Amino acid sequence: MCGIVAIYASSPVNQRLYDAMLLLQHRGQDAAGICTVDKRVFHSFKGMGLVRDVFRTRNMRDLVGNCGIGQVRYPTQGNAAATGESQPFYVNAPYGLVLAHNGNLTNAKELTRELYEHDRRHINTTSDSEALLNVFANELQETTSGNHLDEETLFGAISATMKRLKGSYACVCMIAGHGLVAFRDPHGIRPLCIGKNIDENGNTEYMIASETVALEGSEFSVIGDIEPGEAVWIDEKGVLHRRQCAENPQLSPCIFEYVYLSRPDSTLDGISVYSARLRLGENLATEVLKQLKVEDIDVVMPIPDSSRPATAQLALKLNKPYREGFIKNRYVGRTFIMPGQTIRKKSVRQKLNAIPMEFQGKNVLLVDDSIVRGTTITEIVKMARSSGAKKVYVASGAPPVRFPNVYGIDMPTESELIAGHGKSIEDIRKEIGADALIYQTVEGMKEAVGHFNPEIKQFDCSCFDGVYVTGDVTPEYLRKVEEQRIREKMQAKKTQEAEDS
Ligand code: AMP
């Protein structure tokens, strides 16, 4: 998962890009990059780590220009440890293009082969985003001549690009001398929105970002979402053009954005994330009431931070006290790699500490937004018990995560998921050590989120129901992803051992 942002303005954009990336930091903490353009010259800086650690004043000074794009990355495909894989990516022809991408292409391997064998383009990394940029560059190259670029040609090239790409992609891209473009895949799996600002001289400035929180926090007013399959172009004169570029667009946003990924103060595809989370709590309460006697629950407690709205609403519905039994350390630091020392596994206990008085002698209902690998909740159940809880019940705001995600969230293989391979709820309960385990149902989740925008006919719920909206994800594909993941893990282990010896 990643966060992307683009600004087309009438004054330098470096500081505003940086600030917007801080607002999108929750979408990726692995790497950050900014590229600006000034008189057709790109200026870029990228590195591994958090936005505040990557950029120094001297880097910011070099990022001149009134137009730019940025990305915060959480790796989902490619080599996570390589700085060369940080975005934005650049190609020099046609015009000079720089692109940042959020999502994951499911046909990246085929595209890389096609690009090499047919289009004679070289892909230098394992990143699907580099392949995506080269497909776009190739389609643009095929349809343009000279330095001129018009609306028909540009949107035609984006349509041709969309025909070749499979999977999820929300992209922002600068074209040297020709402004800024952004486009979203025909299912609109990952979010992308646009806003505007009128500067003190009456000029219109535009901003495009993964979430509305980045627009609002930068004092841009939200125009709305970029539609699935839609492309927008802000040309060199600052004029905004919009066009539907897909043949059969069908909005199917990723439901996990509402469950966990996005900030609660964002609104995506017409749905306030916060409202969706409140309603997830309400629907979860219905499940709790079916499976537990309400008089057996003394307190209801969130696992901070993302489950708070759902927990508050659940507690209200059960008419039970809401209590904060776990406090999160907001300043958990970096893990330093010292010679001869393996990377310290960041334990849950480093991040959370319990307040024993909230547990002693009580039956507690712990609520998390979701259970993925199960490591967090297993540790938390132990903490609740060692803090004196009599009974520890667990409720999950999302249904069991049973299937890998191939659209840009790091849930790559079934064997890593605690609910993978059809495991029974009872077996999961035993594994996490809880006295009861209650999950949201898939219907309850869809109802909670979909309630706020009835126009959305389907969501991508693939990690919960195994239905992949792009229609190209076969068991064979998933098997290959799993094998790749095992290879990557073994490679990472070898590298670590080599560093330690
Ligand atoms: P775990 O079950 O230990 O993998 O951690 C699950 C918790 O981490 C959930 O409560 C979410 O808050 C959060 N989470 C969400 N997405 C992911 C993900 N892709 N990988 C790991 N943790 C996630």
The mean per-residue pLDDT over the stretch 263-284 comes to: 98
Q: Is 100 helix (H, G, I), strand (E, B) or coil?
A: strand
Q: Are strands 363-368 and 299-302 parallel, antiparallel or unpaired?
A: parallel
Are 233 and 241 a contacting pair, CB within 8 Å?
yes
Whole-angstrom CA distances from 23 to 46, 99, 217 are 17, 20, 7
Q: Is 276 exposed, middle or buried (0-12, 13-18, 19+ CB in 10 A)?
A: buried
Q: Are strands 31-38 and 204-209 parallel, antiparallel or unpaired?
A: unpaired
Structure tokens at 392: 């520890």
Protein residue closest via CA to atom 11 of ligand 1: 370
Q: Which ligand 1 atom is at minimum distance from the Cα of 418?
A: 2
Q: Is 153 helix (H, G, I), strand (E, B) or coil?
A: helix
Residue 367, C-beta contacts closer than 8 angstroms, at least 6 positions apart: 281, 284, 300, 301, 302, 303, 307, 310, 311, 314, 394, 395, 396, 397
Q: Which ligand 1 atom is at minimum distance from the Cα of 348?
A: 3
At residue 264, φ and ψ (nearest 5 deg) are: -65, -25
Rg for the chain, CA atoms, rounded: 23
Confidence of residue 343 (pLDDT cuts 50, 70, 90): low
Q: What is the pLDDT of residues 120-176, one digit of tens each?
A: 999 998 899 999 999 999 999 999 888 899 999 999 999 999 999 999 999 999 999
> In angstroms, what is the span from residue 371 Cα to ligand 1's centroid?
6
Name the residue type at position 263.
R
Q: Which ligand 1 atom is at minimum distance from the Cα of 376?
A: 3
The predicted structure's pLDDT at residue 332: 78
The predicted structure's pLDDT at residue 81: 55
Of 73, 255, 259, 260, which is best to mutate to test ligand 1, by the most ligand atoms within 8 angstroms of its C-beta?
260
Protein residue closest via CA to atom 9 of ligand 1: 370
The predicted structure's pLDDT at residue 493: 77
Which residue would you say has higher pLDDT here, 110 or 492? Answer: 110
The predicted structure's pLDDT at residue 470: 96
Give the DSSP H/E element, type plus range, for residue 368. Answer: strand 363-368
CA angle 189, 195, 198 (to 5 degrees): 170
Q: Is 409 helix (H, G, I), strand (E, B) or coil?
A: coil
Q: Which ligand 1 atom is at minimum distance from the Cα of 378?
A: 3
Peptide bond into 305 cis (omega under 30): yes
Of 376, 416, 418, which is best to mutate to test ligand 1, by the most ligand atoms within 8 angstroms of its C-beta?
376
Proportion of the chain above pLDDT 70, given as a percent: 94
Which residue would you say has higher pLDDT here, 122 or 78? Answer: 122
Name the residue type at position 96.
G
Instruction: Please state, as a whole number, how many other Cβ atoms lie within 10 Å of the Cβ of residue 198.
Output: 12
The predicted structure's pLDDT at residue 80: 53
pLDDT at residue 347 is higher than 80: no
Protein residue closest via CA to atom 14 of ligand 1: 372
Residue 419, C-beta contacts closer than 8 angstroms, at least 6 positions apart: 371, 374, 400, 401, 402, 428
Question: Three-state secondary structure along 311-353?
Answer: HHHHHHHHCCCECCCEEECCCCCCCCCCCCCCCCCCCHHHHEE
Structure tokens at 183: 């486009």
> In angstroms, what is the span from residue 183 Cα to ligand 1's centroid?
28
Residue 378, C-beta contacts closer than 8 angstroms, at least 6 positions apart: 431, 432, 433
Of 257, 370, 428, which is best to mutate to test ligand 1, by the most ligand atoms within 8 angstroms of its C-beta?
370
pLDDT at residue 76 is higher than 70: no
Confidence of residue 331 (pLDDT cuts 50, 70, 90): confident
Are 358 and 349 a contacting pair, CB within 8 Å?
no
The mean per-residue pLDDT over the stretch 317-322 comes to: 98
Give the mean pLDDT of the chain.
93
Are 455 and 270 a contacting pair, CB within 8 Å?
yes
Name the residue type at position 225.
D
Q: What is the pLDDT of residues 440-474, one digit of tens each?
A: 999 999 999 999 999 999 999 999 999 999 999 99
* 40-54, 357-371, 431-445, 480-494, range with the lowest pLDDT: 480-494
> In angstroms, what is the span from residue 258 Cα to ligand 1's centroid?
14
Confidence of residue 86 (pLDDT cuts 50, 70, 90): confident
Q: Is 180 helix (H, G, I), strand (E, B) or coil?
A: strand
Residues contacting ligand 1 via CB (< 6 Å): 260, 306, 368-377, 409-411
Protein residue closest via CA to atom 23 of ligand 1: 372
Confidence of residue 498 (pLDDT cuts 50, 70, 90): confident
The predicted structure's pLDDT at residue 490: 83
Confidence of residue 401 (pLDDT cuts 50, 70, 90): very high
Question: Three-state secondary structure along 156-179?
Answer: HHHHHHHHHCCEEEEEEEEECCCC
Protein residue closest via CA to atom 18 of ligand 1: 410
> In angstroms, what is the span from residue 373 Cα to ligand 1's centroid?
7
Confidence of residue 492 (pLDDT cuts 50, 70, 90): confident
The predicted structure's pLDDT at residue 212: 98
Q: What is the pLDDT of residues 174-214, one digit of tens each?
A: 999 999 999 999 999 999 999 999 999 999 999 999 999 99
Q: Which ligand 1 atom is at minimum distance from the Cα of 375?
A: 3
Give the DSSP H/E element, type plus range, for residue 53. Answer: helix 51-54
Residue 216, C-beta contacts closer than 8 angstroms, at least 6 positions apart: 195, 222, 265
Protein residue closest via CA to atom 19 of ligand 1: 410
Cα separation, 292 vs 315, in Å, equals 14
The predicted model scores a pTM of 0.95
> In angstroms, what is the span from residue 189 Cα to ligand 1's centroid?
19
> In angstroms, what is the span from residue 470 Cα to ligand 1's centroid?
24
Strands (E), 31-136: 31-38, 41-48, 67-73, 89-91, 97-105
Q: Are strands 271-272 and 2-8 parallel, antiparallel or unpaired?
A: unpaired
Instruction: Please state, as a whole number, how many other Cβ atoms lie within 10 Å of the Cβ of residue 336.
Output: 8
> In angstroms, what is the span from residue 370 Cα to ligand 1's centroid?
7
Q: Which residues, listed in sequence order, are joined to residue 94 by a DSSP beta bridge?
A: none
CA 112 to chain centre: 24
Q: What is the pLDDT of residues 101-113, one digit of tens each?
A: 999 999 999 999 9
pLDDT at residue 334 is higher than 80: no
Please list the active-site residues. 2
The predicted structure's pLDDT at residue 77: 55
Protein residue closest via CA to atom 20 of ligand 1: 410
| Dihedral-angle region of residue 30 (phi above 0 means left; psi in -120 to 50 means alpha; beta otherwise) | alpha
Cα separation, 15 vs 60, in Å, equals 8
